[in-house]
Amino acid sequence: MLLYLKVKPNQRIDRVEWVSGEWVVRLAAPAIDGKANEQLVRYLAEVLKLSKSAILLKKGHTARIKCLEIPLEPEEVRRKLEAVAAGA
């Protein structure tokens, strides 16, 4: 599935939220030299219980809106993201 989300780098902690109808991932990593993108893939792999290599950043390498290809069904991704967002 393709997952579109907004990334906010330079935050205090890594976390995922549902805000105004879209997924927002706040990352502690800065948006310098691809560090935020690397942390995004690492964090989502942890949240979704996948390997980092299973998550592919398709679009938005230098933008705040990212498109990632994830090898899971949309319902499973939503359920896992909601569980993490509720526990934050």
Tell me the pLDDT of the chain averaged across its residues: 96
Count Cα atoms within 13 angstroms, Cβ side, for 5: 27
For 69-83, what is the mean pLDDT? 97
Q: Which residues fall within 8 angstroms of residue 11, CB to CB, at 6 or more apart?
A: 26, 27, 28
Q: How confident is the model at residue 87 (pLDDT cuts 50, 70, 90)?
A: confident
CA gap 73, 61 in Å, rounded = 23
With contact defined as beta carbons under 8 Å apart, do 81 and 47 qualify? yes
Q: What is the pLDDT of residue 4?
A: 98
Query: What pLDDT, in 10s, does the model give residues 14-33?
Result: 999 999 999 999 999 999 99
Q: What is the pLDDT of residue 76?
A: 97
Q: How many CB atoms lie within 10 A of CB 55?
A: 20
